[in-house]
Chains A and B, each alone.
Chain A
């Protein structure tokens, strides 16, 4: 066993380090970047500029074919890039859905001309994409969606509503799955499109999240016309296309959300409990030790995944556990850190709360992490069914026509 790069990996890591050192500033670890704010225009411009730089250095989509600005590289190289980037204060989160899910879906189903038109600007950060899947009637059960599409000559007319759409407020394009036939069972009556978010009839309304920020939106569709040429996959085959999108969810790597164990240790260093140093307290020590073994266990599990990738194998199912473990750990650490502060734990003013209110912010945004991209419960179903091979849930709606099943 060793933790060394191969010669090729080491050369690439050097290249990335050089690029980052020349183009970005290191994170100030004592001053965590806030996640609570909404993304404002200035930040968006910064994110686009950073993406353009990455694209110019051929670092923006390493696993894509060279034809589309990638390097045709193994996923291990993306992991290495992310490992290095993690130490830098660069804008993140704006392009992940587009480049990680939407464009790969396009590559599987769109025409060469459409790809020529859409891939390069997406890669350079000039155009942003969003994913219009979840609806009020279905997030986990996304195939229970009700937004209708109806054929009108060479076009389709879309009516309905999407919800929780991250980035719709600044997205230029979106991928959308809609219902073309409600008289057949739910998975059989879906049709998939990509569309211009500025099409007439689309209205985006920001939703204020529990944390107070607004990263996601409701999107209303009133007689929105989409040309049939923008259909991805066959009529009625939208579920198959959706699965392609969902399979492309980025390999979760690199970031351990903060606050984590080191932040808790940092907090404790300056803290007393009942007149004695907090770190002398046996209960505090037990909790810290337990979280350390989880964080460390996840980090090392990623190394096992990297080993598989590095050998050209598909990563084992171990990559499926990261989000389940991270989201709850984050919520628990945030809550515990505040407990240690007593009544002062409620202060969320970054000027007053330790570590610039890192714990208070995380308490408020961590619940979303347990829901977004598959809830804790859905992910446990997936582990149980796909990894352990347990029998599927009983599905009462599976073979019934969609319009004969109760929704909402």
Chain B
């Protein structure tokens, strides 16, 4: 039994935690939220230089070849540090799209740029309200041209290219589109440190990826759910630490508030939810690393568990801080915003719960 990360990866985790505490953290997220920049470019170049953007890119394409487990480790630290960068999106999802369904030429052209951070990729499937579903896609791809609108698209206003879900005569496809000449509108959102845009494709050139578009998108969403789960457990752990520290130090009625059982039990419940979410996320990392048949179920469990944990931790962290927790200046709301943001990307909890039970049904029928 070896259900833990290797020592080398734990070392990477410590290194990432130190680096991000110094260069990211709430102050960096706050700078983006208050200052209006799209993302933290200095941080982006910094982690590119550390080689982390190419964590899951094979060495032949200029990556670090750490594999998906390395990516998971880093995602947890990115979530803990509230880093205002599209890490899991570009180094995870867009990279995965090319690795799974890119042509040899697409891989050779783009993967090295993703690894060095000079290109940022995004994935555009949503067209307004609703969870991922083939019937909800109306963007069109024909004769090498893409038309249609996507909203919200993560990092759409600063990404260099997008993998776009569209319909073609042959059925559902994923296409690769350069965003240089695509009309984009930055959107006002809950967590501006994870900016979103609307993209309007008006007969722009695009290239199809290989394979069945819907199957690929499903795979990408499953894999993204696991990475998101790591970001979520990182954020949830940061909330628990913050709440525990405050509960030890803040006094009321002549004693630390952490000696009141209403506070203690609340924090114990967060601890429990976080531990369960962590174990489910680790299983997801294992499934990614081994390409296990259990991956979809592991992804759904990780997603549901981590979403629940971060939601609980972020809202009760505010509660533990009292009035101070409800101020703009305290960091609590940054985590609260990020928690809800992460709960909504890649399909929300009801979608994943439904999918999870569907997977249990087919497993038990087998």
Contacts and interface: CB of A to CB of B under 8 A. Distances in A.
B249 to A, nearest CB: 11
A381 B265 CA distance: 7
B275 A318 contact: yes
Interface footprint category on B: 35 or more
Contacts of B264: 380-381, 384-385, 390
A207 interface: no
Interface of B is mostly: helix
A86 to B, nearest CB: 16
B269 interface: yes
A377 B261 CA distance: 9
A253 interface: no
A225 B2 CA distance: 52
B244 A389 contact: yes
Interface string A109-137: 00000000000000000000000000000
Interface string A313-330: 000001001001100000
B361 interface: yes
B268 interface: yes
Contacts of A272: none
Interface stretch (B55-63, B110-118, B280-288): B280-288
A294 interface: yes
Nearest to A382: B268
A391 interface: yes
Contact of A1 (B3, B240, B248, B265): B3
A394 interface: yes
A388 interface: yes
B350 interface: yes
Contacts of B69: 1
B301 A292 contact: yes
B305 A297 contact: yes
Contacts, number: 156
Contact of A388 (B259, B271, B301): B271
A1 B286 contact: yes
A298 interface: yes
A377 B247 CA distance: 19
Interface stretch (A36-44, A58-66, A283-291, A341-349): A283-291
Interface centre among B264, B300, B301 (most CB of A within 10 A): B264
Contact of A2 (B2, B5, B279, B280): B2
Contact of B1 (A4, A289, A297, A384): A4
B3 A289 contact: no
Given A1-B4, A288-B357, A325 B276 contact: yes
A308 B279 CA distance: 14
Contacts of B305: 293-294, 297
Nearest to A262: B364
B267 A296 contact: no
B282 A1 contact: yes
A353 interface: no
A154 to B, nearest CB: 46
B247 A390 contact: yes
A381 B258 CA distance: 11
Nearest to A304: B3
A265 B272 contact: no
A289 B361 contact: no
A14 interface: no
Interface centre among A265, A288, A292 (most CB of B within 10 A): A292
A394 B244 CA distance: 18
B4 A384 contact: no
Contacts of B161: none
Interface in A270-285: 279, 282, 285
Contact of A297 (B2, B258, B268, B275): B275
A177 interface: no
A389 B248 contact: yes
B350 A286 contact: yes
A181 to B, nearest CB: 29
Contact of A306 (B3, B267, B275, B285): B3
B352 A289 contact: yes
B225 to A, nearest CB: 12
A73 interface: no
Given A1-B69, A390-B267, A391-B256, A289 B357 contact: yes
A201 B1 CA distance: 51
A296 B3 contact: no
Contacts of B276: 293-294, 297-298, 301, 321, 325
A29 interface: no
Contacts of B4: 1, 304, 307-308
Contacts of A310: 1-2
A3 B267 contact: no
Given A282-B350, A285-B354, A297-B276, A292 B5 contact: no
Contact of B272 (A1, A292, A293, A325): A325
Contact of B301 (A286, A296, A384): A296
B131 to A, nearest CB: 13
Given A289-B354, A297-B276, A384-B265, 8 more contacts: A1-B69, A2-B2, A265-B361, A288-B360, A300-B279, A380-B265, A387-B268, A390-B259
Interface of A: 1-5, 9, 76, 261-262, 265, 279, 282, 285-286, 288-290, 292-294, 296-298, 300-301, 303-304, 306-308, 310, 318, 321, 324-325, 377, 380-381, 383-385, 387-394
